Structure 1
Amino acid sequence: MGLKMDGSRLLGALVLSALSAGAVAQTTTLTADDYAKAERLMGYNTVPLVDHAVQGVAWLDDGHFGYREHDAAGDHYLRMDAAGKASPAFDQAKFAAALSKVSGKTVDAKKLGITDFSDTADGRLDVNLRGKHYLCDLKAEGVCVAGKGAKESSAKGGNEPGVLSPDKKTEAFIRNWNLWLRDAGTGAETQLTTDGVEDFGYATDNAGWKHSDEAILVWSPDSKQIATFQQDQRKTGEMYLVTTNVGHPKLEKWKYPLVGDEHVTMIERVIIDVPAKKVVRLKMAPDQHRSTLCDDVSCGRDGGWDDVQWAADGKTLAFVSSSRDHKQAWFHIADAATGTVRTVFDEKVPTYYESGNGKVNWSYLPETNEAIWFSERNNWGNLYLYDLKTGKLKRAITTGEGNVTEVLKVDAKTRTLWFRGVGRTDGVNPYYQQFWKVSLDGGKPTLLTPEASDHAVVLSPDGRLFVDTYSTPIVPPVTVLRSALDGSNVAEVAKADISRLLASGWKAPEPFTVKGRDGKTDLYGLMFKPTNFDPSKKYPIVDYVYPGPQTGSVGTRSFTPARGDHQALAELGFIVVAIDGMGTPWRSKAFHDAYFGNIIDNTLPDQVAGLKELGKRYAWIDLDRVGMWGHSGGGNATVGAMFMYPDFFKVGIAESGNHDNRNYEDDWAEKWQGLLVKDKDGNSNYDKQANQVYADKLKGHLLLAHGTMDDNVPPYQTLLVVDALIKANKDFDLLLIPNAHHGYATAGYYMTRKRWDYFVRNLMGATPPKEYALKPPKMD
């Protein structure tokens, strides 16, 4: 979770628009028109050309959901009832006028940019507009006021982000290392804890790579108790960065534990009785700051605390602890009144235990004294039912090949469970998510989404209906309303129309499969060609890489009109590919474990095998001109490719790479590489996993890039490689982006152009236009 990625560079020389057409050796200069043609395939130009693609689906109540779609006339915000009748969600013209008054800027009713919306209890509209909330009364003339949003915080009181209670009357927030309450109606504030001190505060959020003011806690269903922790960072090491500016730089420092540190961040779990302001400390030793899902104690999509679940009556709390190396997980139940903790069962694995993809999949069922547990014990992610009294396995809920990825609902009364899964239907791409229901008592799961597509589903609060948007990388989305009972269609919501996109010259990427390093395992990828591809020509090939292990190179298997700048780069005269190599998730446990403990592998043997197979399959791929780029983990992999396969990869662009994981946060690296262990000579299992060790092997063109205020992967990671390259007397290029974080913000467009230039110049052997400027639309 901590690591994420990006990209950039390559160029050439002579004027010939034919390059746009895919000309290679005979073209030596690219023009600004060639780059402009490529830029037309960037997401900010292609996404607006897709009509009626449903986005932002959110259920407003059991019988209504809101969503937005788009066409040539602009954006439309709609709501649909359970019978499939759609109507405008609100008066967009009135809303635009009201928003113009409160913001002081003219707002276009057809280009509102609303992220999501909901109804408040008093009938107002709660709107999230590019991260800012507005509460709007549109019944009369239309009035909007700026606020924090009904979902997350009241419009009154302090500015700290709060976590709203289930009854929506109170929110909890952090101030001065303690937990406070804020009345959602009046804004009145009450201090809940008093013994929080610096670096030993309540509900504080710090994963090293992520540090925020958000409060990490879980309210009980009756809004009378809070499960949280006191996070102990007093002995945790610090990270330091300084700003680039005229005058004294500003020092940024924060707690950032590293691999092998004796003292890392720990948590002491507590339950707080809100009315009594009483803190009950759970009777157990301090716990690891770990999650069964990722490298932060909180990483789920809703921003909550993933491995904690209350009983409906609030008397008990279930939670899962993970060992520092993630190899063992324990299922506990705590008595909320006394703090007594009982360990019910545990699971220990040779590599790392995970509880799902995108969501923690275990569930606490105290009414029947049962727990649902996710395990990959049979090499696939399946669900199992445990007896809470004995801690013994009762039965498998799902079996066989393919993975449960996300449990979306459990109905203990009907003993039914609904889940998303992959690889469970023969003949369907193993990355396509489908939606199923299954009995807790076993039996064959029922497939509710039969189309051979990637399905994104949103269940109604009562679980009777779901909105299903399905598509593939080459087939645009269809959105339907379905019954969660049998998957039958209730209504069609919308069918995307890509006529305008196709008229612009856009072409879909091409899915392909190749064999992995073992010559047997199928690997799945996407290929991007110039839109005027000519099979009689030879094209240099660029491999975009993200090695995982927590995600892969390809990304979503749903339809999207742009995947980063892949198609735009291809338009300049390249073949661009992304391949999910062994060691990435969504396949079998063995597939995911492929390079556990040897993280410098980075799927590179699979990338090389896949590229060579494509080169043999297609005469128009020039395997003498192979490049690679990636961001974060992909930056690490790119440098590894240039050092480990110097005769194969001729050009590499490595952005913000975690090149030596001894200098990355402890949780991520210790999960995938294992705990740092030294032998009697002082050598560790991390020594040869660092890219700088192999710097003397560089032969090709390498561009290194990093933001100087990167608080995820600090810039020292790239400077270690720079230092080694200098000592090895190697030529390379370096771009440091002042004050940029892990993502480069608006400087990302400069980085994109530099990436194009670098590949054009060094892989294509051509000359790029001088200082072409990408022109994304301005955001208000």
Structure 2
Amino acid sequence: MLAPLRHARAALLLAASAVPLAPVHALAAPSAEDMARSISLRADWQYLTREIAWPASWTPDGSAFSYRKTVEGGFAFETYDLRARAKTPAFDQQKLAKALGAAMGETIDPLRLPFDQFSWGPDRQSIGFGIDYAGWNCTLTDYHCAPEADPRRPRGFGVVRDLSVPADNHPRLSPDGKWEALVEDNNLVVRPAGSRDLTRLSSDGTEGNFYDPETIEWSPDSRHVMIYRVRPGFARHVLRVEAAPAGQLQPALRSQLYPKPGDAVDQEQPVLFDVASRRQTVVDPALFPNPYQLSQPRWRADGKSVEFDYDKRGFGQARIIAVDAGTGAAHAAVTEDARTFFYADRRFAHDVNGLGGEIVWASERDGWNHLYLMDGKTGKVKNRITTGNWVVREVVKVDDAKRQIWFAASGMNPGEDPYFRHYYRIDFDGRNLTPLTPERADHAARFSPDMQFYVDTYSRVDMPTVSELHRASDGAVVATITRGDISRLTAAGFHAPEVFTAKGRDGKSDIWGLVVRPHDYDPAKKYPVIENIYAGPHDSFVPKTFWPFGYHSGGDKVIGMQALADLGFIVVQIDGMGTANRSKAFQDVAWKNLQDSGFPDRILWHKAMAAKDPSYDISRVGIYGASAGGQSTLNALLFHGDFYKAGVAMAGCYDNRMDKISWNEQWLGWPVDKSYADASGVDNAAKLQGKLFLIVGEQDSNVDPASTMQVVNALVKADKDFDLLVVPGGEHTVGRSTGPIDYVTRRLSTFFVRSLQQ
């Protein structure tokens, strides 16, 4: 039987050879010079633009605004004076670089200050900014810089207090200046201002159920105090060995408070006190059972009631709880129930006039994120403010007197990229919707404190940034502040990425992505494809603005993709279903389903791109990503190994039971259930197909690096081949914005050349 089969196969090959085929030219392997050019591309191109501006920061008095822009050799900070219509340096960058460098213990280039935006101090004699998630302040009189001091006790991801650090127990002065409140021996006490004559208001506080002085809030009339009594949660610590600490031979042990999904969180019980009568009222928790987190108490303007936000564990319910100051009775001013989840980081509420009668509330109850005017007494909807198949992205300002709201939204304009942000004004009753930023681009508007003007900074990936000053009343342009010039960048070989859309798994939703091709792209050749993935449900990630150089949480932007493409690949980035900034149903795909990562949509997108472009070789598709993108990369090879052939997974949260409590319970819920295991790269390691390269920073403080090593252990047990790079001392962003960037880039690039081109 074998011989006839061989003859049949030969006949088929002869028949196929008779059919003329379009020529396909082979790709030459990248040379050492190609690799060097690719690795240095960001450094070579990053400073070729001019007048590309960042969103503005207004001075407290609204007389001027400041912004960063690109100049020869780097970036300059500039201030525009509204009255003089003139530009001046925002500060002395030479002096600030020297002062900041001295404080940080390093040399800083004045044209490459390590921040892109800042806020003015109240007198314009100082500025504040962030560097690597830490706050800094610099004076502009004597140029002294120091990190922001935070006297508050740290909390692990906001839900477990670090009891090894004393709480900030400074006396809280009452509004009338007569009383001070503080905690002594775990109980609330008050005393006349400046006196040591203490009056104990509580006696039920203990070491294991203590009153937290950092939650003390006085009523405006100084008659009442609300404070939380706290039962501590589980203080889980992640331990990391630093094998090669700087300046010493022996390794060091690092410890970090790090609550994980399912861990017990601090239980906060609101307690109300009448200072004159010493009456204590423990607020009935029936309306806020099993809290994940309560916000700091907020007193209403008239002092008759106090409110706090409640997020239920598992993120199925959000409420504003209002407590009557006289009786201690609680009621739900607003309740948001979700079939899947409510997105805690994007909840918005505004107490109109600060009296609790009306509340502007953001809700996805109709399937899109919109604004509602709620009756704060009954918790019912008074009227809708916004409506339609589009999403409110940000509330900029609520004007109680004019009963107007200024907000950003996306998806309102037919035929436009639904992720582009535009700004609008609308009345409380939903009338007089007024667009303020009509240009077909993504906008970042910054309004003056008095809402009389705004600076609109807008761009697209194929359009350099424009920054304009507008009058807020009618949107008229007052002045053009900057207009980006990319002529030198274009001359160096930059090409804007191609925007491409295809239908998702539902046959209706447009899936948006970018395509980056080699600088010497030849449509007659066949190119392997690499996808840059970040699929966290908390946002969308395909760039919409021009700036192509910097890193973001999901990986590198366009220039990083270009550098990889120049080695002989087509590199793409896609926002599949399960990500944010579209409809609720679009994002809900991720609920208890993190292993999905939008892959059904992504694969359809790839196939649609290949049908359009014969050079797009979907028989050779690779993928790379970091953090949640690292988890998605691994899952591509575990669950879709028939499509994805190779992957580089960096700093991944491969098992969501190992990762931080906040991010994972938001998307997988509570209690920890089968959905956590279903998404686990550890539990599913034996399903690995294709070639895998794992990269992890030894000192990752965002994702427990043991998560990577547990995948390694499971792969070894499953007898799977893979590559592994552990960077000693490396943090979560190793190889992307800190650490040995060029080394990791070279290793990643070499891996894909070896895996997809040879």
Compute the TM-score of the two structures, normalised by the length of structure 1. 0.78
Cα distance change of structure 1 residues 658 and 35 upon mapping to structure 2, 3 Å threshold: same
Q: Could you say what secondary structure the match of 2:140 adopts?
A: strand
Larger CA deviation: 736-745 vs 536-545: 736-745
Match of 1:760 among 735, 753, 758: 753
Q: Are the counterparts in 1 of residues 518 and 569 from structure 2 also a CA contact under 8 Å? A: yes
Residue 136 of structure 1, aligned match among 137, 140, 154: 140
Could you tell me which residue of structure 1 aligns to residue 654 of structure 2? 659
Q: 1:30: which partner in 2?
A: 31
Q: Could you list the per-position Cα deviations for residues 314-371 of structure 1 after superposition, in whole angstroms to 9, with x for gaps in the alignment?
A: 664433211111111112123568865332231212101136xx75322111347100
Alignment of 1:301-316 (within 5 A): 311-312=300-301, 316=305
Q: Is the 8 A contact 2:535 2:575 kept in 1?
A: yes
8 Å Cα contact 1:238/1:257 also seen in 2: no
Change (3 A) 1:338 1:472: farther
What residue identity is the alignment partner of 2:689?
K
Q: Secondary structure at the match of 1:664?
A: coil
Shift of 1:272: 10
Which aligned pairs between 1:14-25 and structure 2 lie closer than 5 A? Answer: 25=26
Contact 1:257 1:264 in 2 (8 A): no
Within the candidate set 628, 635, 643, 2:638 is matched to: 643
The aligned counterpart of 1:49 is 48
Distance in 1, matches of 2:543 and 2:227, equals: 33
Out of 399, 405, 427, the position equivalent to 2:393 is 405
Shift in CA distance, 242/625, structure 1 to aligned 2, threshold 3 Å: same
Instruction: Give the deviation of 1:80 after TM superposition.
Output: 2.0
Q: Which amino acid aligns with 1:177?
A: A
- Partner amino acid, structure 1, of 2:743: Y
Runs of 5+ unmatched residues, structure 1: 1-22, 138-142, 154-158, 164-172, 184-189, 205-214, 292-296, 298-304, 679-683, 766-780
1:524-603 → structure 2 map (5 Å cutoff)? 524-561=512-549, 563-564=556-557, 565-603=560-598
Offset, 1:535: 0.8
In structure 2, relative to structure 1, the CA distance for the partners of 1:335 and 1:627 (3 Å cut) is same
Give the aligned partner of residue 451 of structure 1: 439
Distance 1:576 1:558, change over 3 A: same
Contact 1:267 1:288 in 2 (8 A): no
SS at match of 2:617: strand
Paired AA for residue 47 in structure 1: Q
Structure 2 counterpart of 1:30, one-letter code:
S
CA contact (8 A) 2:47 2:73 kept: no
Report what 1:166 is aligned to.
Answer: none
Q: Is the 8 A contact 1:704 1:733 kept in 2?
A: yes
Relative to structure 1, is the Cα distance of residues 634 and 203 closer, same or farther in structure 2, using a 3 angstrom cutoff?
Answer: farther
2:61 paired with 1:71: no
Query: Does the aligned pair in 1 maintain the 2:458–2:545 contact within 8 Å?
Result: no
Q: CA RMSD in A?
A: 3.9
Three-state SS of the structure 2 residue aligned to 1:476 is strand
Tell me if 1:471 matches 2:454.
Answer: no
Q: What is the aligned partner in structure 1 of residue 335 from structure 2?
A: 346
User: Compared with structure 1, are the counterparts of its residues 380 and 573 closer, same or farther at alpha carbon in structure 2 (3 Å cutoff)?
Assistant: same
Within the alignment, does 1:624 sit opposite 2:623 as a pair? no
Q: Residue 599 of structure 1: SS of its match in structure 2?
A: coil
- How far the C-alpha of 1:254 sits from its partner, in A, is 1.9
Cα distance in 1 for residues equivalent to 2:72 and 2:626: 34
CA distance in 2, matches of 1:387, 1:102: 54
Within the candidate set 697, 708, 713, 2:703 is matched to 713
Q: Is the contact made by 1:280 and 1:337 (CA closer than 8 Å) also made in structure 2?
A: no
Q: 1:361 aligns with which of 328, 341, 348?
A: 348
Maintained 8 Å contact 2:321/2:332: yes
Q: CA deviation at 1:265?
A: 3.6
| Pairing 1:331–2:320 present | yes
Secondary structure of 1:492's aligned partner: strand
**For 2:543 and 2:208, how far apart are their aligned partners in 1?**
37
> Aligned letter for 2:700?
D
Would the aligned equivalents of 1:96 and 1:107 in 2 still touch at CA under 8 Å? Answer: no
Partner of 1:751: 744
Hey, what does 2:664 align to over in structure 1? 669
How far is 1:396 from its partner?
A: 0.3
- Equivalent position of 2:238 in the other structure: 239
Tell me the distance in 1 between the aligned counterparts of 2:297 and 2:743.
43
How far did residue 497 of structure 1 move?
1.0
Say if 1:162 and 1:312 are closer, same or farther in 2 by CA, change over 3 A: farther
Q: Which residue of 2 aligns with 1:461?
A: 449
The answer to whether the 8 Å contact 1:179/1:202 transfers is: no
Distance 2:27 2:698 in 1: 39
Question: How far did residue 574 of structure 1 move?
Answer: 0.8
Using the aligned pairs only, state the percent identity.
Answer: 34
Question: Where do 1:157-172 residues align within 5 Å?
Answer: 160=151
Structure with higher RCO (Cα < 8 A, 6+ apart): 1
3-state SS of paired residue (2:408): strand
Is the CA contact (8 Å cut-off) linking 1:547 and 1:583 kept in structure 2?
yes
Q: CA 1:487–1:339 in 2, change beyond 3 Å: closer, same or farther?
A: farther
The answer to whether the 8 Å contact 2:235/2:257 transfers is no
CA contact (8 A) 1:352 1:671 kept: yes
Give the Å deviation of 1:174: 11
Aligned AA (1:133): N
The corresponding residue for 1:428 is 416
Distance (whole Å) between structure 2 residues aligned to residue 313 and residue 349 of structure 1 = 32
Task: Judge conservation of contact 2:30–2:568 (CA < 8 Å) in 1.
Answer: no
Cα deviation, 1:426-466, whole Å, max 9, x if unaligned, reads: 12210000001110022252111111110001111122221
Alpha-carbon shift at residue 414 of structure 1 (Å) = 0.4
Please report how far the alpha carbon of residue 87 of structure 1 lies from its aligned counterpart in structure 2 after TM superposition: 2.6
Cα separation, partners in 2 of 1:714 and 1:117, compared to 1, 3 Å: closer
Structure 1 distance, partners of 2:667, 2:107, is 50
Say whether the 8 Å CA contact 2:98–2:108 is kept in structure 1.
no
Does 2:261 correspond to 1:258? yes
Residue 14 of structure 1 corresponds to none
Which one-letter code corresponds to 1:600 in the other structure? Q
Comparing 436-445 and 744-753, the one that deviates more? 744-753
Q: Which has the larger radius of gyration?
A: 2
Tell me: CA distance 1:219–1:438, structure 2 relative to 1, closer, same or farther (3 Å).
farther
Q: How does 1:760-779 map to 2 (within 5 A)?
A: 760-765=753-758
Q: 1:703 to 1:102 in 2, by over 3 A?
A: closer
CA contact (8 A) 1:96 1:108 kept: no
For the 8 Å contact 1:331–1:345, the answer to whether it is kept is yes
Paired amino acid for 1:593? D
Residue identity in the other structure for 2:592: G
The aligned length equals 681
Q: Which moved more, 1:329-338 or 1:563-572?
A: 329-338
**How far apart, CA to CA, are the structure 2 residues paired with 1:181 and 1:714?**
38
How far off its partner does 1:270 sit?
6.7
Cα distance in 2, alignment partners of residues 490 and 228 from structure 1: 49
Change (3 A) 1:237 1:487: same
CA contact (8 A) 1:178 1:202 kept: no
**Letter matched to residue 630 of structure 1:** G
Q: State the secondary structure of the residue aligned to 1:41.
A: helix
Q: In structure 2, the residue corresponding to 1:471 is in which secondary structure?
A: strand
Q: Distance in 2 between matches of 1:369 and 1:100?
A: 47
CA contact (8 A) 2:323 2:331 kept: yes
Once residues 114 and 278 of structure 1 are traced to their aligned partners in structure 2, the CA distance between those partners, rounded to angstroms, is 50
1:503 is aligned to 2:491: yes
For residues 425 and 203 of structure 1, do their structure 2 counterparts lie closer, same or farther at Cα, with a shift above 3 Å needed?
farther
Change (3 A) 1:446 1:649: same
